[in-house]
Amino acid sequence: MKVRSLTGGEMEQALPALARLRIEVFHAYPYLYAGSEGYELDYLHTFSQAPDALIVTAENEVGEIVGCATGSALTGHHVEFAEPLVDAGIDLSTTFYFGESVLRPTHRGHGIGHAFFDVREAHALAHGYKRACFCAVDRPADHPLRPEGYSALDPFWTARGYSRLTGAVSHFEWPETPDGPKIVHRMDYWTRSF
């Protein structure tokens, strides 16, 4: 498995693969996201224009991208995402935003998730950021679509030094079925100071 950090033109070339992966991986619990490639490409193109943006890719032995993780500055970008952080007293100019981290289930459990965090944290530190943050959907333990044996990522994030930011919550809308209505989902914030 090869992990690479992409910026600039290389990052732009990876956007279609990341769009497809987001749709594929986020379709599963807990996100239950029914996205479209057109929307994803628009979203990712906007992301790629943010200051200090990067994509970390995981490629299999034949060069196929099987996982991606993103990061960028918060300032001038992610306005809806940033507001609860400002309300919580977080300085946006010194905070690096971790976007999605998507990996096909067949490639999990081999350290790629840690590599995604390692590369993004190193990138943030190299650009002078003092902390990182990300958002995660909050699903109740008794959600009817929760798979048998599902393990939340909270212990993984905690072991990496991240903690839930008390009182900071966002609500984002996305459809859970193709052509279905957008449903409001609660998102919790996680942060780590370097």
Taking residues 89-97, report their average pLDDT.
94
The β-bridge relationship of strands 182-193 and 131-137 is: antiparallel
* 148-155 long-range contacts, CB within 8 A, separation 24+: 150/29, 150/30, 152/30
pLDDT in tens, 159-184: 999 999 998 999 989 999 988 899 99
pLDDT of residue 111: 93
Percent of the chain beyond pLDDT 90? 71
Instruction: Provide the CATH number for the domain formed by 2-143+154-193 in this structure.
Output: 3.40.630.30
| pLDDT band for position 78 (cuts 50, 70, 90) | low
Contact 11, 55 (CB under 8 A): yes
Taking residues 181-189, report their average pLDDT.
93
Q: Is 99 helix (H, G, I), strand (E, B) or coil?
A: strand
- Tokens standing for residue 194: 């370097």
pLDDT in tens, 7-27: 988 888 889 988 999 999 999
Residue 76 scores a pLDDT above 80: no
Please give the mean pLDDT across all residues of the chain: 92
* Cα angle 124-27-173, degrees, rounded to a multiple of 5: 75
- Where are the chain's structural domains? 2-143+154-193
pLDDT of residue 69: 95
Q: pTM for the full model?
A: 0.92
